[in-house]
Amino acid sequence: MDTTLFAAAQAVKINQGMMPLDWGIIITMIVALIAILIYCNRFMRNAADFLAASRCAGRYVLSIAEGVAGFAVVSSVATFEMFYEAGFTSTWWSMLTSPITLILSLTGYVTYRFRETRCFTLSQFFEVRYSRKFRVVTGIITWLSGIVNYGIFPAVSVRFFMYFCRFPKSFCFLGVNWDTYAVLLTFAIGIAVYFTICGGQIAIMVTDFIQGVFCNAAFLVFILFIFRLGNWDVTGGLISWQQIEESLCIITGKSQVDPFSTNRIGDFNFWYYMIGLFTTLYSRGAWQGSMGYAAAAKNPHERKMAGVLAGWRGQAQWLMIMLFPLAVIVLLNHVDFGETATQINAVLDQYKSDPQMYKQARVATALSLIIPSGLLGLLVAVMFAAMLSTDDTYMHSWGSIFVQDVIMPFRKKPFTPKQQIWALRFSVIFVGIFAWCFSYFFRQTDYIYMFFALTGAIVSGAGASLVGGLYWKRGGRLAAWVRYISGAVMALSGIILQQIWKPFLAPWLAEHFKWEWVLNNMEKFPINGQWISFICMSTCATLYITISLYEHYVLGRKDYNMDKLLHRGAYDLDNEHQDQSSGNVGWLARRLGITKEFTTGDKLIYFATIAQTLMWFIIFLWFSIQRAIAGVPVSQWMKLWHFKLFFSLILGISCTIWFLVGGIKDVFGLFRALKNVRQDDADNGSVADKKEESPAEN
């Protein structure tokens, strides 16, 4: 490690890295999680336990655990990248889309009906709704897309820890020179594999819940340490709101304050967020990265409420992953931190040869230099929890999908419960090996979120088949086949073009054709991952609707029995539905999806969620109108962001306490339910044979 950098850092009282106290915090957390893992393992008896915790989870444990599983180091680094480039504009456009996402949560769009099917995986649903052959093909494509998408997770996570902890690129041990990156990859992937194979979804969900509670509390500590929010100065932190405002005003040409000029910031512009909104509508439930959570709720209503609670659960998390890059913007741009910026840039210089690595290292490196011992270890523990919770969730999902949707449909003799659990474990181990190889050798050329969009587009056909299959009785089998294959081909073509563009394709085109658009985009493929994803999704949706209508009106396909699919009415053999007749429920409540399943507390949460969303949407409309009529000065934009940060901080503190109480009750309820649940070894994800051309199924 470069000692000259440390000497320079000492001159401005920048910390020298991890101390024994910091390592103690991390080790204590790991030991505690392993103890909980061992306890959870005693409850795993069959495939239903491994795959979905025998469908015994309540709303709070679902919401917190799934939330931290989606938090992820890779997602944090991706958001750091995006916010450093786009600033508050990313928050602005979410205020436009929030009413739509609210409606999706309140109605349980897709998630409620998918839980009604009692399917463990998306491809199992495709077998029930379309055909067994379709299940196998979609299972293979979903699995390939998932493991490629997950492939960069360990890479980004490990690089974050290398940047943050300032590890050397190599070290000598037992007379051998070891590659630090490779060793950390092995450790990170190995511990995630261990957590996944030991306890399945039960252990994953409980340990993720513990990590989620820990992270939410830590988020508030970091926010209070780093920031002084101007007139509401309750923290005595490092950076004041005035310094934030002055720093952002220096670079307003990049539209980090005014959201109506986002075209100046390249990839993260207005269209990026609009495509994201379309993706939310189109692909809800189609991505199987947290497959175990989709099936784990004890009934469809609990699954719906977990989605509604997600908007409250994430307040502190949203603040942290947004304000950290904001702090780095101040440190690197404000005159008060000129000497600190010099030291940060001195450390960052080693990454400038690789633009993408430099962008990923920027926030982590800066934070590692300014956070003192104790808090440094706490932040590493938080990011480690984020990494582990996401890795074990994704490994569980992709390992399970391979066994459930690729292997099981070909078996003439069903697995015994013990055989199926071991098959799932070996599949998880393979996913870990693949992730290690992919992380070590893959060359990333685009922003992380662009890579997510692109790899997710491989299963872009799943959105139309899922939504159409759940809501449209005329959705056809042929339509599902055509749109799924076409989406995978288009997305894979986009991935290949991005990989070969700079080293091969662009130089060849420039030499032989000298097209101007090629000469202007020699470094990067001109169509980013978000646009490729949109092209795939829109094409697949059009194909699905058109061919389904052709099947119905020309080929004479009969309507599908939706009550049987959703286990409603006479088909509700497990009594998962309470009386859902409208009864005394008012007209407005009925339109919002409220039935007799709702308690008074559920209704209060519902209407509070609506009130908060409408408040921000009204603010969005007011500022938009003012911007169109007379313009909005920078000072007014900054007052808005100041208010939003403080409002979110208050909510973050309140919701952390609220979810802690509710989550603890749910965890004890989960263990009680697992002890008493009726064991059904046949409930293993297999689908009873049916005639391929049965009119009731087509």
DSSP secondary structure letters along 598-659: --HHHHHHHHHHHHHHHHHHHHHHHHHHHHHHT---HHHHHHHHHHHHHHHHHHHHHHHHHH
CB atoms within 10 A of CB 81: 22
Report pLDDT digits (tens) over 593-637: 677 778 888 888 888 888 888 888 898 889 888 888 887 787 788
Per-residue CA distances from 677 to 45, 46, 57 (Å): 11, 12, 12
Cβ distance 602 to 58 under 8 Å?
Answer: no
CB atoms within 10 A of CB 328: 24
Pick from 26-30, 148-152, 213-217, 436-440: least confident: 148-152
Average pLDDT over residues 447-452: 60
HEC string for 123-160 = HHHHHHHCCHHHHHHHHHHHHHHHHHHHCCHHHHHHHH
pLDDT on residue 269: 59
pTM score, two decimals? 0.74
Cβ distance 404 to 200 under 8 Å?
Answer: no
Cβ distance 358 to 272 under 8 Å?
Answer: no
Is pLDDT at 267 greater than 70 in this prediction?
A: no
Report pLDDT digits (tens) over 492-536: 787 778 778 777 888 888 877 777 777 777 777 777 767 777 887
DSSP assignment letter at 232: B
pLDDT on residue 414: 81
| 401, two tokens | 């999908």
pLDDT on residue 232: 39
Q: Residue type for 691, please?
A: K
User: 455 pLDDT band (50/70/90 cuts)?
Assistant: low
Fold assignment, 17-444+633-688: Sodium/glucose cotransporter (1.20.1730)
| 57, two tokens | 């989870």
C-alpha closest to that of 112 among 278, 284, 288: 284
Residue percentage of the chain with pLDDT more than 90: 6
Q: Which residue has tokens 């658009």?
A: 517
pLDDT on residue 696: 38
pLDDT on residue 81: 67
Question: Of residues 630 and 254, which shows the higher confidence score?
Answer: 630
Pick from 227-231, 411-415, 472-476, 694-698: least confident: 694-698
pLDDT on residue 447: 57
Is pLDDT at 318 greater than 80 in this prediction?
A: no
What secondary structure does DSSP assign to 501-567, as a single string?
Answer: IIIIIHHHHHHHT--HHHHTTSSS-SS-HHHHHHHHHHHHHHHHHHHHHHHHHTS-PPPP-HHHHTT
Is pLDDT at 211 greater than 90 in this prediction?
A: no
CA 503 to chain CA centroid, nearest Å? 31
pLDDT on residue 166: 75
Domain ranges (residues) in the chain: 17-444+633-688, 460-559
Cβ distance 330 to 247 under 8 Å?
Answer: yes
Cβ-in-10-Å burial (0-12, 13-18, 19+) of 388 comes to: buried
Pick from 182-191, 228-237, 319-328, 377-386: least confident: 228-237
Report pLDDT digits (tens) over 555-603: 888 888 888 888 887 877 666 665 444 445 566 666 666 777 788 888 8
C-alpha closest to that of 339 among 13, 17, 7: 13
pLDDT on residue 585: 55
pLDDT on residue 675: 85
Report pLDDT digits (tens) over 664-674: 999 999 898 88
Nearest 5°: CA angle at 51, between 47 and 57?
115
pLDDT on residue 255: 53
Is pLDDT at 289 greater than 80 in this prediction?
A: no
Distance CA 393, CA 401 (A): 12
Is pLDDT at 547 greater than 70 in this prediction?
A: yes
pLDDT on residue 648: 84
User: 186 pLDDT band (50/70/90 cuts)?
Assistant: very high
HEC string for 464-494 = HHHHHHHHCCCCCHHHHHHHHHHHHHHHHHH
pLDDT on residue 235: 43
| 7, two tokens | 């000497």
Distance CA 514, CA 504 (A): 15
User: 281 pLDDT band (50/70/90 cuts)?
Assistant: confident
Average pLDDT score over the chain: 77
pLDDT on residue 245: 75
| 119 three-state secondary structure | coil
| 427, two tokens | 């599949």
CA 429 to chain CA centroid, nearest Å? 22
Is pLDDT at 229 greater than 70 in this prediction?
A: no
Beta bridge partners of 227: 239
Indicate if the alpha-carbon torsion angle 410, 201, 690, 133 is positive or negative: negative
Q: What values do phi and psi take at 561, rounded to 5? A: -80, 95
Pick from 201-215, 402-416, 648-662: least confident: 402-416
Distance CA 283, CA 296 (A): 20
pLDDT on residue 430: 93
Q: What values do phi and psi take at 693, rounded to 5? A: -110, 20
Residues 6+ positions from 575 with CB-CB distance below 8 Å: none
Distance CA 24, CA 586 (A): 56
User: 407 pLDDT band (50/70/90 cuts)?
Assistant: confident
Average pLDDT over residues 73-85: 68
Report pLDDT digits (tens) over 359-388: 767 777 777 777 777 888 888 888 888 888
pLDDT on residue 306: 86
Report H helices in 334-443. Answer: 338-348, 355-370, 375-401, 417-441
